[in-house]
Chains A and B, each alone.
Chain A
Amino acid sequence: MSMVEALREALAEEMRRDSSVIVMGEDVGVLGGIYRVTQGLLEEFGPERVRDTPISEEAFMGAAIGAAVTGLRPVVEIMYADFLANCMNQIVNFAAKMRYCSGGQLRVPVVVRTMVGHGRGHGGDHSQVPMTWFMNIPGLRLVAPSTPYDAKGLLKTAIRDDSPVLFFEPHLLYRVRGPVPEEEYTIPFGRADIKRRGEDVTIVAVSAMVPRAVEAHERLREEGITAEVIDPRTLNPLDIETIVESVKRTNRLITVEYSPKTGGVGAEIAALVVERAFDYLDAPIIRVAAPDVPVPVSPPLGRMTVPTVEEIVEAVEALL
């Protein structure tokens, strides 16, 4: 099934299991969400639990937080991750901090589902992949699935978690299909998935960059190079142990993301690896990332902001 269908299943199953789970956001009810992730939920669970909101990100994010600290488990949809900027205050100053600043009195079980990296000419303020905005906010969990299987299992874990979770859904992978079992399962946070085993280099890829890194692995194999491909799946908590263990074997690291390079996921992973495995590195770390520009609309320029399989392959070749 597709990631959209997997997410929809996760939501429906959790809503059946727990009546405190509610869904709200723009166009999530009657329309079923502009990506159709919430399709059918209104019919099954009714308008009290599946709520179309006005265009008031700050308000419905705040409302989700208020509902969460008094007994509900809201799942909020932010149509484009760019619009997280419109409710940054509620996420950063409240969702992330209320537990701590209340001395543990409050729990904030909110899940914020959002679409990242539209990738089709929507322009600078409708295309961002802004996980990194939140990486130095203690109190948040950050989840970035790259397969339908992971999306379903991680969303179920997110809904059951007592901390606020930002759940980044890659537009580039919404319609890509993959196996999802019939039976119930969840995936714990903080456990990376080693997508491909390899000896020569470790590639840590995030979100929609994971299938590209896997494809790079296949191409490199034809040249006799084996690349280990790791999908961290959650950026907070980050399974740095798995990455470090891999680098200790391969002695080389490449990170791949499609956010701007500066202050990115790769920067953090590189720093952690240098701290923990400096002596094992045989080459500089390479960060493959978007250039530090807003995403332009014009197709040839826009394409240049999303790393390609070729770029990953070239980065590996440059290291070896």
Chain B
Amino acid sequence: MAPSLDEMIQMYRKMLEIRRFEEAIADLYHRGEVPSSAHLYIGQEAVAVGVCSALRRDDYVLTTHRGHAHNIAKGVSMRRLAAEILGKATGLCKGKGGSMRASSLADGVVYACPIVGSNIPIAAGVGLSIKLRGTDQVVACFFGEGASNIGDFHEGINLAALWRLPVLYVCENNLYALSVSQRRSTLVEDIASRASAYGIPGVVVDGNDVLAVYEAARRAVEDARGGRGPTLIECKTYRWLGHHAGDPGFAYRPKEEVEAWRERCPIKRFRRVLLSRGVTEEELASVEEEVEEAVRDAMDFALESPYPGPEELLRDVY
């Protein structure tokens, strides 16, 4: 079942929000306003939006160090997300988590786990709680291909599979874990093939095609809600920028490769699809304008927000 045209325009809006948001954060980073590193998502927008569009509002997401996008795609306030990234009191986590831990339980984004792979077992536990509480929610757990080489991946997916937990394991294969390419970290071609080791379905999808990602996620959600357990979805994609905002990203990958992937921009590609389905240039232009405005507003909010006061230091420990 494909999304309606209205839903697709919504998806386009979200992809664009992510793109503009990350550009704005990069800008603030270079102006010294971001107190941490910032791992930007530009180039991968179809994955977060494709998956989260297949989720309900009350479904859960667990993300990673590269998690701004999953928050936006899940409907988290860009204002409070930006404020969190800047370490401000109005941030999602009162500025205590920052870019790599920004999350909003009220919106279903349970947590962002910046230790690579750690969210994989935690997602199994969220699935377990869903199962025991008897709701029909699901949880989507995002991670990079680099995470598929750590023990948490293998232990965690095995456990979720064994207990048939309602989890979507979404591997965003952007080909590099920091500087190390997939080829230099595993002999496995498709990360999704690892699913067979745990007796669950593994699916490879074009991670720059938001409708393909959506469709794969929709099927996995259906299985998860139906009690048939987890699916491992591998989305082949690419990060355009460096590992984080301070990394130019060219020391370990050829310029031509980066250029070739930029040609395959997931947003431009989806824009063409929308136009071919009868959405007008004017409609898209007004979405684009609204997004620019919303992102500018979010950054202004974050910049104008105060830092937390010293009384916050010792709060929330226990």
Report which A residues bind B (CB closer than 8 A).
20, 22, 48-49, 51, 53-54, 56, 58-72, 74, 89-90, 93-94, 98-106, 138-139, 141, 162-163
Establish whether residues A93 and B124, one from each chain, have CB atoms under 8 Å apart when the complex forms: no
What mask results when residues 283 to 296 of chain B are scored 1 for a CB within 8 Å of chain A, else 0?
A: 00000000000000
Establish whether residues B118 and A90, one from each chain, have CB atoms under 8 Å apart when the complex forms: yes
Establish whether residues A104 and B94, one from each chain, have CB atoms under 8 Å apart when the complex forms: yes
Given contacts A53-B159, A106-B111, contact A62 B101 (CB under 8 A): no
Residues of A within 8 A of B123 (CB): 66
Residue B158 is within 8 A (CB to CB) of chain A in the complex: yes
Establish whether residues B156 and A59, one from each chain, have CB atoms under 8 Å apart when the complex forms: yes
Report which B residues bind A (CB closer than 8 A).
60, 62, 91-97, 101, 103-106, 110-111, 113, 115, 118, 120-133, 151-152, 155-156, 158-159, 162-163, 315-318
Establish whether residues B124 and A101, one from each chain, have CB atoms under 8 Å apart when the complex forms: no
Residues of A within 8 A of B127 (CB): 66
Establish whether residues B159 and A56, one from each chain, have CB atoms under 8 Å apart when the complex forms: yes
A58, A61, A94, A141 interface centre (most CB from chain B within 10 Å): A58
Give CA–CA (A100, B159) in the complex, Å.
27
A-B pairs with lowest CB-CB distance, top 10: A66-B125, A62-B121, A59-B155, A103-B94, A103-B93, A63-B125, A56-B155, A66-B122, A104-B316, A67-B125
Establish whether residues B158 and A59, one from each chain, have CB atoms under 8 Å apart when the complex forms: yes
Residues of B within 8 A of A90 (CB): 118, 121-122
Given contacts A89-B115, A94-B118, A105-B105, contact A63 B124 (CB under 8 A): yes
Residues of B within 8 A of A53 (CB): 159
Establish whether residues A101 and B96, one from each chain, have CB atoms under 8 Å apart when the complex forms: yes
The contact of A56 among B104, B158, B315, B316, by CB within 8 Å, is: B158
Give CA–CA (A61, B122) in the complex, Å.
8
Give CA–CA (A70, B125) in the complex, Å.
9
Establish whether residues B128 and A72, one from each chain, have CB atoms under 8 Å apart when the complex forms: yes
Give CA–CA (A72, B133) in the complex, Å.
8
Establish whether residues B317 and A139, one from each chain, have CB atoms under 8 Å apart when the complex forms: yes
Establish whether residues B124 and A66, one from each chain, have CB atoms under 8 Å apart when the complex forms: yes
Nearest-neighbor residue (CB-CB) of A104 within chain B: B316
Residues of B within 8 A of A66 (CB): 62, 110, 121-129
Establish whether residues A69 and B126, one from each chain, have CB atoms under 8 Å apart when the complex forms: yes
A101, A104, A162 interface centre (most CB from chain B within 10 Å): A101
Given A59-B124, A103-B97, 5 more A-B residue pairs with CB atoms under 8 Å apart are A58-B152, A65-B122, A70-B110, A90-B121, A104-B315
Establish whether residues A68 and B125, one from each chain, have CB atoms under 8 Å apart when the complex forms: yes
Give CA–CA (A72, B165) in the complex, Å.
15
Establish whether residues A72 and B93, one from each chain, have CB atoms under 8 Å apart when the complex forms: no
Q: List 26 A–B pairs whose Cβ atoms lie within 8 Å, in order of A's numbering.
A: A53-B159, A54-B155, A58-B155, A59-B124, A59-B155, A60-B121, A63-B124, A65-B122, A66-B62, A66-B129, A67-B129, A67-B132, A68-B125, A69-B111, A69-B126, A70-B125, A72-B128, A94-B118, A99-B318, A102-B96, A102-B103, A102-B105, A103-B94, A105-B103, A106-B105, A141-B318
Residues of A within 8 A of B158 (CB): 54, 56, 59
Given contacts A59-B152, A89-B118, contact A103 B96 (CB under 8 A): yes
Establish whether residues A72 and B110, one from each chain, have CB atoms under 8 Å apart when the complex forms: no
Establish whether residues A63 and B93, one from each chain, have CB atoms under 8 Å apart when the complex forms: no
Given contacts A53-B159, A105-B105, contact A65 B115 (CB under 8 A): no
Residues of A within 8 A of B110 (CB): 66, 69-70, 106
B92, B122, B151, B152 interface centre (most CB from chain A within 10 Å): B122
Nearest-neighbor residue (CB-CB) of A95 within chain B: B122
Given contacts A62-B121, A70-B60, A94-B113, contact A101 B97 (CB under 8 A): yes
Give chain A nearest CB distance to B54 CB in angstroms. 20
Give CA–CA (A2, B152) in the complex, Å.
37
Give chain B nearest CB distance to A199 CB in angstroms. 36
